[in-house]
Structure 1
Amino acid sequence: MDIKVLSEEHFLESMNLSMYAFQYKVPESDIPKRLETLKKHRLLGIFEGEELASKLHILSLNVKLGQQDWKMGGIAGVATYPEHRRKGHVNALMRRALEDMNQSGNIVSFLHPFQIDFYRRFGWEIISDNRKITIEKIDLKPVERQSGTIKRHTEKNHSLDIERVYEGYAAMHSAMLARDSEWWRTSIYGEQTAAVFMIRKMKRQDTCYMRLKIML
């Protein structure tokens, strides 16, 4: 099966396949930004005639394991048009992706599966649980008022303080993504706002520190 590394001329076609497969729409004004982001991905695709039938993305990232950052290949955007399914396209793409990541020195690989058993047969396994807890407003208890300030940040005015809070949290856990400023701006915010509560306390004379709490 002929697998091609997609070039920029196929990026829009790849985006259209993603929008069809995952049922979302990229606003016209956001398309140039999305296409620019794809330049950082390695896209593998299979064509049927002149049409892109199947594709996946490999993202070159790092994750924190212990005290070290390990090279990680992220798998994303795995998609096939319905009329080209059950032809072994995704199976071939996944095996090629594993070969490419191995050659690139990626020690581990992460993905977000639509079906766990499907990816398990290629060697991926669950490393975490996603727990959703719903709390009624009546269950929230008042806390002691503290002096401080709240600063709100968006993609356009991202603060390094937010990165420092995340890095401190990530250092206490394994398999946390190593995020740089660009990742925060392009992959975290979206339409959300980060509210940072800053408490300034005197630790000793002429020295102070700040505690930050992020609410996305």
Structure 2
Amino acid sequence: MTTELRVLRDAEFDAWYAAVELGFGGVPEAPEEAALWRELAGLDRSIGVWDGADAVGTTGAFALRITVPGGAGVQAAGVTMVSVRPTHRRRGVLRQMMRRQLDDLRAWGEPLAVLTASEPDIYGRFGYGIATHSLSVRIDTTRVRVSAPEGTEGVRLRLSKPDEARDACEAVYARRVAARPGMLARQPGWEAVPLLDPADGREGASPLQCVLAEEGGRTVGYARYAVRPLWAESGPGGTVLLRDVEALTPAAYAALWRYLTEIDLTTLVTAHNRPVDDPLLHLVSDIRRCEPRVKDSLHVRLVEVGSALAARTYRGPVDVVLDVADDFCPWNAGRWRLTGDAKGASCERTEDAADLALSVRELGSAYLGGVSLAALAGAGRVRELREGALEEAAAAFGSDVAPWLPHGF
């Protein structure tokens, strides 16, 4: 097999994107959706592997900014649109693309790479670790009530067209970004992503709807959703399909969830991407009838160990030497001294004896504070070399709130 890997050229985009669609089942996306991803992708950040005129491998890397523990935003490459043509599997195409991509990210000075995986066992061999999880709920609204904390009755709810409410929603979202690791600061153009609503993808549901929560005349929350009607002999049984919900106050958050669970002619609310510590879990009257489920979400890869670990803060004082294994990016391998606290951190090469031994994959899992180093040690993936080092590091790496990726890319 003779193939060529190269950065994408403008004239090649349509063939490259058709290869992406083929890799994810072969169903063409709506024109407006494909156009948006083309606008956001950046040709210079997209790679194709070609066999003659055929694109047989694809990957891209959005320029993202992700919140890390401490509230800072860190540059991260959002790895996306990874596909290999079925005729070219098991020939090293994926490995070739991952190699080139990580080399490029290092040259560009981007300390992190992140992705969501169609299959979670693919990317561990390239140093990615599962760093966040997402919660799904399926709420039987005939049996579940949402409690109303103090102040809920003072929240005014107002329906608005999603595009007309965009700026108000984005202002609320922007104020939420620094509060939770894993959230993405919306770069120019990304405000259109939550509003994507191609008609041929609704599967019998309504167009996207939006409700705003207001307190004292200002917008303090929103929910975007669709409704899929259902009419049976026993009566109506529609489903509210939640896209996203954010609020700046507990009262507004409760008011929005109460609204969603009380929409006329519906008996079900589904949400497929919420934080695992969502306050909703403490607002509902019967958690069992919400059918909560958890799955992996964001996978994190430290491209540069030193700069990545120094970019976040730590929940408590930490001074540990990490012996890091990284076969795929050997510039990370070796011993690093991490010192830091809630005010800042440094991470430098050292010849001192190691306190913990782990691979870059475990560092990726622990990086946003949602996966405990102690839990990874329990699975045999972190080794304690100095007594007490594991407890110290596990406590320092933790986060008060669970990290969460608010939307895919």
Task: Give the equivalent residue in structure 1 for 2:184.
Answer: 177
Gaps of 5+ in 1: 201-207
Give the whole-Å Cα distance in 1 for the aligned partners of 2:139 and 2:213.
21
Structure 2 residue aligned with 1:213: 222
The equivalent of 2:47 in structure 1 is 44
Give the TM-score, by structure 1 length: 0.84
Counterpart in 2 of 1:199?
215
In 1, distance between residues paired with 2:24 and 2:71? 36
Q: Residue in 2 aligned with 1:203?
A: none
Task: Identify the residue that residue 4 of structure 2 maps to in structure 1.
Answer: 2
Aligned twin of 2:131: 127
User: Aligned to 1:152, which of 149, 160, 163?
Assistant: 160
Return the alpha-carbon distance in structure 2 between the equivalents of residues 128 and 29 of structure 1.
Answer: 30
Displaced runs of 4 or more, over 4 A: 28-34, 141-145
One-letter code of the match for 1:182?
Answer: G
Tell me which residue corresponds to 1:60.
63
Q: What letter corresponds to residue 215 of structure 2 in structure 1?
A: I
- Aligned counterparts of 2:87 and 2:158: Cα–Cα separation in 1: 52
Q: Aligned partners of 1:97 and 1:84: how far apart in 2?
A: 19
Aligned equivalents of 1:170, 1:30: Cα separation in 2: 25
Give 3-state SS (helix, strand or coil) of 1:67's partner.
coil
Contact 2:77 2:114 in 1 (8 A): yes
Q: Does the 8 A contact of 2:20 with 2:83 survive in 1? A: yes
SS at match of 2:175: helix
- How far apart in 1 are the matches of 2:183 and 2:97? 26
Distance 1:145 1:41 in 2: 51
Tell me whether 91-100 or 156-165 shows the greater mean CA deviation: 156-165
Q: How big is each residue's C-alpha offset from its partner over 1:6-35, in whole Å with a ceiling of 9 and x where there is no partner?
A: 111111001111121112322356655554
- The amino acid of 2:140's aligned partner reads E
Assess, with a 3 A threshold, how the Cα gap between structure 1 residues 211 and 50 changes in structure 2: closer, same or farther: closer
**Structure 1: which amino acid aligns with 2:79?**
I
Amino acid at match of 1:5: V
Q: Where do 5+ consecutive residues of structure 2 fail to align?
A: 198-207, 225-242, 244-409
User: Does the CA contact (< 8 Å) of 2:158 and 2:212 recur in 1?
Assistant: yes
Cα distance change of structure 1 residues 64 and 146 upon mapping to structure 2, 3 Å threshold: same
One-letter identity of the residue aligned with 1:189: L
Q: What is aligned with 2:99?
A: 95
Instruction: Give the 3-state SS of the residue equivalent to 2:65 in structure 1.
Output: strand
The match for 1:140 is 145
Cα deviation digits, residues 134-176 of structure 1 (max 9, x gap)? 211121247564452414242x435332123222322221121
What amino acid does structure 2 have at the position aligned with 1:165?
Answer: V
User: Which has the larger Rg?
Assistant: 2
More divergent stretch after superposition (82-91 vs 29-38): 29-38
Letter in 1 for 2:158: I
Whole-Å Cα distance in 2 between the matches of residues 117 and 17 of structure 1? 22
Q: Please tell me whether the aligned partners of residues 11 and 38 of structure 1 are also in contact (alpha carbons under 8 angstroms).
A: no
Indicate how the Cα distance of structure 1 residues 68 and 147 shifts in structure 2: closer, same or farther if over 3 A, else same. Answer: closer
Q: Tell me the distance in 2 between the aligned counterparts of 1:113 and 1:5.
A: 22
**Percent of paired sites with the same residue:** 19
Report the Cα distance in structure 1 between the residues aligned to 2:76 and 2:90, rounded to whole angstroms. Answer: 29
In the alignment, what sits opposite 2:118? 114
Aligned alpha-carbon RMSD (Å): 2.4
Letter in 1 for 2:186: R
